[in-house]
Amino acid sequence: MRNRVHQTFSREIMIRVAGWGLGVFLAGCESDLPPAAQNLPWEVVLTGTNFCWEITDPGRDGKLGTVDDLHLAPPLRLPANIPTRVLLRSRDYLYTFELTALQIKQIAIPDLTYFVEFNSGKPGESEFRGDQFCNNAHNALSGTVIIQSWRDYRRWQAIAETEQQTQR
Amino acid sequence: MVVVCLLFAGCTGKPSEVSPRTGPPSSAASPITSTQVSADPATGLSVLGRVGELSGHATDGTWFDSRELDGCVWIAILLPESGVPGPLVAALAKLSTAVEKLPEQREIHLVCFRQSPPANSPPQPPFSPSAAWKIVTLATDQVSVWSKTALGESAAENAETSGDSPPCLVLVDATGRVRGRDYSPTPEGLPLLVDDLRRTFAERKAVPPEIVNPPWFASRREAQLVAAKDYSAQHDFQFTDRRIESGIRFRNKIVDDAGKFYKAGHYDHGNGVAIADADLDGREDIYFVNQVGGNELWRNLGGGKFENITSASGVALADRIGVSASFADIDNDGDPDLYVTTTRGGNALFENDGTGHFRDISVASGTNYVGHSSAAVFFDFNRDGLLDLFVVNVGRFTSDERKRVTMEPLRDELQGEYFYYDAYKDAFAGHLKPERAERSILYQNLGGNVFRDVTEVMGLVDESWSGDASPLDVNSDGWPDLYLVNMQGNDEYYENVKGQSFVCKSREVFPKTPWGSMGIKSFDFDNDGDLDLFVTDMHSDMSSHIGPEREQLKSDMKFPDSFLQTQGQSLYGNAFFRNAGNGKFEEVSDSVGAENYWPWGLSVGDLNADGFQDVFIASSMNLPFRYGVNSVLLNDRGRKFLGSEFVLGVEPRRGGRTAIPWYEVGCGGADAGHLDCQGRSGRVVVWAALGSRSSVIFDLDQDGDLDIVTNDFNSEPLVLVSNFAERHPKLQYLKVRLRGTASSRQGLGAVVRVKAGKQVWTQVHDGKSGYLSQSADLLYFGLGSITQLDELEIQWPSGRRQTVPGPLSLNVVLDVTENKE
């Protein structure tokens, strides 16, 4: 058991180092500019599933629906100071998603896609809330929004991508 | 003589080796009915059986009925015939002291049973361990019921051969199940009993937690009682829930989607209750619609008593998920026929043979629609003297997956298997999915009990998510228009163009309507001669938590616009449209005090017979929301409504109940993954708030005042009997029974005006008796203190106007037949 734990720990360190290195490399590339330069909103997807949110981050290519999409649990991470669009979907129930600081609220419904748009603003943390229309508390539907500088965000993406690939 | 004291191995002093906490019961404590004995690995408390219904005289002069204890835990003992020894008295006193220290002591009842002594025997000596014990004398047959159900059949048999021995205490849970039966009234036995009592309460999970003893309830009651000191509307009378005394045993039962596997779907909208004199004996009978287990028709025997005639009448529809009921005389033969809607089981039309026996003519009549139907409204849209039918359909809120109902083991009342269609998990978003729309249907009565779908021909194509509708003549042209409530969007209004077509004029006449409309009733609120309109809004109260302090306010709507889809053109609460004449309505709900919390439908009647129509709003959502009171709004002479549910004894409910056991999950077994098992183990009994769905106001006991009967969701109805007539022997009223000739025999749609001097009372005979309900009832006019009625005027649907000259007798049923002109 000790061995397995040690191996896991070592592998995690290697992944993080590799991810950090990749992040530094990407952050240093001139072509890795925020999509704001293209006047397009940065898109992520939140999908309600069994009283939880599943987050789909577009990955390094910045495009949803491609192989490098990241599938994650909250918190929701977003790059700072760019137009942002959070697409809301559901696999089962009817949910609401609310960015309390921005007083934005939207629904998530199976087979349909709704969204909220906003400027992500400065780096920092805020909260989002979720509800399931039934008065029962579903704490997993609420969580934290972490706004990061573009460079930090890209580093995090790189680490997350490496972790995801490893898990596969 | 029945041997009343029973011998148990574990009831002689020290803890029993068949303690209910230690696994399988011994033969002496074997199951006594089909109820499964199941030791609970977490709490150790098994279910040993179910106590039968018991009743008898109590020494405090009251009548004891074990059904009163539904929702309460109780401890009982059958006293020895030979007398009550001192040690036993002391033990019972000690037990009551221990119970008083428990936080749930208000919910625990202590009962001593003793057998009725033989005739000519000396009186039983007084016995009083403490004031907490109710001492009830049971007849011999009742003792037998106790012995066989509470103590177990084999125990009773043992007792017959064993003779007298010390009696045991029995622990009964909130649903009448025996959870322990062999506690000896000794220093060794009592701690075991108290321990198991605690375990029984530990099984409870109240959702939300404050429903059992709402912290706001007492202050809310007090505030209303204080406010009532300034009420000018007469309120010196009381309603009392006489369900148990009435003999009505109906209990509404529900599908799992509204309970154990709750979804925000539409099954929780519940069922209607309608009245009609089904057997033409001069008394109104009650038809309760049930979601599961079949509907029931209860015959009014007079004197406030009823008997179940469902089987003989043939209107149970036990194989279907029932929704609403509407009585109407479709063939003009003088008896009320019946239409019942269901969720995907097929709607049913029954023809009455005049004796209260009904024949299913659904298929032949062409009205056997299969879908998600809600209310059904009879009205004569083309004024041909035949009652047409508008069937309101909600929308497709279920998938094709069929599921078995598993809610009933908690009470063991349901025999056989019942199935329902699984509600979509996103059912409440149905209005955003056009493919789930289900249009309502207008049937034209062709005569001969045959109907034809004329929805498209008449231009009445409506796909709102609707639960109810009402005819009303908005433009006073004599043709009944139709107002259709939308539970997920704005309401719709269709103007009847001379019986040839309907034209939608919704926003033109009603620019803003409630977003989540449920109930509707038109009546003359202010006695100005025209009909106003009250629409209740339930769904708006769902968007965020509404505390008791906000009940009189509109909802602070939290649903996003993308969900509401009404572009801000909605009210988020009840609407009261005061008729301003010329087809114009003014929304005045806030100024007249028409708002309440979590309303379903409303019923209207002059509860204090002062000549102004009062309102009862069936309210409260049950699981998983907080308790809401049923609202009684007394009409303050057409100026405003006065909240009066506490003043008139409608609240608190009988026994002070606000919540009941709703369903049960076994967290150690098949239900381990259930949401209610998070952080729990063993048996979990989930409690939910009580709530009414529909109601009907009528003179149940024919004493001259109006009573109220509800259909509650997943529980028993309220049978609220008024003592107004008793308190006011000089009560004055007039009941009017119409008999149309050119109009439909029932005279549906007629406007009746009663005149006394300058006073005029106006009522429309539309049959709308509450949410999901249409009744064939008399019109009731409270007349206040007038001394003489001068005239009665009727505007028949046929167009004829008729005057019945006075002076008219008071306090009678006035039969009026449509004249020939």
pLDDT digits (tens, 9 = 90+) for B714-756: 999 999 999 999 999 999 999 999 999 999 999 999 999 999 9
Residue B24 has pLDDT above 60, yes or no: no
* Res B33: pLDDT: 32
Give me the residue from A106, A109, A135 closest to B426, CB to CB. Answer: A109
* Res A9: pLDDT: 43
Between residues B10 and B757, the one the model is more confident about: B757
Residue B228 has pLDDT above 80, yes or no: yes
* Res B280: pLDDT: 98
Contact present, B207 and B687 (Cβ < 8 Å): yes
Give me the residue from A106, A134, A136 closest to B562, CB to CB. Answer: A106
Residue type, B90: A
Between residues B33 and B185, the one the model is more confident about: B185
* Res B43: pLDDT: 61
Residue with tokens 């936080």: B103
B779-782: strand order across its sheet: B779-782, B733-739, B813-817
Lowest mean pLDDT across A130-139, B185-194, B442-451, B535-544: A130-139
CA atoms within 13 A of residue B479's CA, in its CB half-sphere: 14
Return the residue in B562, B564, B623 with the most chain A beta carbons within 10 A, the one to mutate for interface testing: B562
Give me the residue from A92, A112, A134 closest to B264, CB to CB. Answer: A134
| Shortest alpha-carbon distance between residue A94 and chain B (Å) | 5
Mean pLDDT of B411-426: 93
Return the residue in B426, B432, B558 with the most chain A beta carbons within 10 A, the one to mutate for interface testing: B426
- Distance from chain centroid for Cα B811: 29
Mean pLDDT of B167-191: 94
Lowest mean pLDDT across B6-10, B651-655, B678-682, B693-697: B6-10
Contact at CB, B560 and A90, closer than 8 angstroms:
no
Q: Strand, helix or coil at B489? A: coil
- Distance from chain centroid for Cα A63: 13
β-strand partners of B739: B817
Residue B361's alpha-carbon distances to B9, B300, B465, B795, in angstroms, are 61, 25, 28, 32
For B56-81, write each residue's pLDDT tens digit. Answer: 999 999 999 999 999 999 999 999 88
* Res B617: pLDDT: 98
Find the residue in A nearest to B539 (Cα). Answer: A133
Residue B649 has pLDDT above 80, yes or no: yes
B282 token code pair: 């001069």
Lowest mean pLDDT across A108-112, B147-151, B479-483: B147-151
* Rounded distance between C-alpha atoms, residue B224 and residue B641, angstroms: 13
* Res B167: pLDDT: 87
Residue whose C-alpha is closest to residue A114's, from A46, A27, A167: A46
CA atoms within 13 A of residue B615's CA, in its CB half-sphere: 37
pLDDT band at B395 (very low <50, low <70, confident <90, very high): very high
Beta A76-79 vs A143-148: how paired, if at all?
A: parallel
Mean pLDDT of B759-769: 97
Give me the residue from B433, B545, B562 closest to A114, CB to CB. Answer: B562
Give me the residue from A105, A106, A110 closest to B426, CB to CB. Answer: A110
What are the residue boundaries of the structural domains of chain A, listed by start?
1-32, 37-167
| Shortest alpha-carbon distance between residue B177 and chain A (Å) | 28
Crossing angle for the helix pair A150-167 and A2-28, nearest 10 degrees? 140
* Res B157: pLDDT: 64
The helix or strand, by DSSP H or E, that contains position B552, with its residue range, turns out to be: none
Residues of A in contact with B263 (CB under 8 A): 93, 134
Contact at CB, A94 and B542, closer than 8 angstroms:
no
Residue A10 has pLDDT above 60, yes or no: no
Residue type, B601: G
β-strand partners of B817: B739
pLDDT band at B116 (very low <50, low <70, confident <90, very high): confident
Residue B26 has pLDDT above 80, yes or no: no
Residue B38 has pLDDT above 80, yes or no: no
What is the pTM assigned to this prediction? 0.92
Residue with tokens 């879908």: B371
The CATH architecture annotation of domain A37-167 reads: Sandwich (2.60)
Residue A7 has pLDDT above 80, yes or no: no
* Res A14: pLDDT: 55
Residue B1 has pLDDT above 80, yes or no: no
Mean pLDDT of B27-32: 30
Residue A104 has pLDDT above 90, yes or no: yes
Mean pLDDT of B415-423: 95
In degrees and rounded to multiples of 5, residue A12 shows phi and psi of: -65, -40
Contact at CB, B426 and A107, closer than 8 angstroms:
no
Mean pLDDT of B512-529: 98
pLDDT band at B106 (very low <50, low <70, confident <90, very high): very high
pLDDT band at B92 (very low <50, low <70, confident <90, very high): very high
| E strands present in B417-512 | 419-423, 441-447, 450-453, 468-472, 481-485, 492-497, 501-504
* Rounded distance between C-alpha atoms, residue A56 and residue A68, angstroms: 10
CB-neighbour burial class of residue B207 (10 A; exposed 0-12, middle 13-18, buried 19+): buried
Contact at CB, A112 and B432, closer than 8 angstroms:
yes
Here the ipTM equals 0.86
Contact at CB, B560 and A107, closer than 8 angstroms:
yes
In degrees and rounded to multiples of 5, residue B462 shows phi and psi of: -135, 130
Cα radius of gyration rounded to whole Å, chain B: 28
Mean pLDDT of A9-22: 52
Contact at CB, B433 and A111, closer than 8 angstroms:
yes
For B559-585, write each residue's pLDDT tens digit. Answer: 999 999 999 999 999 999 999 999 999
Mean pLDDT of B116-143: 87
Residue B23 has pLDDT above 70, yes or no: no
pLDDT band at A38 (very low <50, low <70, confident <90, very high): low
* Res B13: pLDDT: 38
For B538-548, write each residue's pLDDT tens digit. Answer: 999 999 889 99
For B130-171, write each residue's pLDDT tens digit. Answer: 999 999 999 999 999 999 999 887 666 665 555 556 789 999
Residue B409 has pLDDT above 90, yes or no: no
* Rounded distance between C-alpha atoms, residue A112 and residue B145, angstroms: 59
* Rounded distance between C-alpha atoms, residue B180 and residue B185, angstroms: 13
For B341-389, write each residue's pLDDT tens digit. Answer: 999 999 999 999 999 999 999 999 999 999 999 999 999 999 999 999 9
Residue whose C-alpha is closest to residue B376's, from B268, B486, B272: B272
Contact present, B520 and B485 (Cβ < 8 Å): yes
Count of Cβ atoms closer than 10 Å to residue B69 Cβ: 21
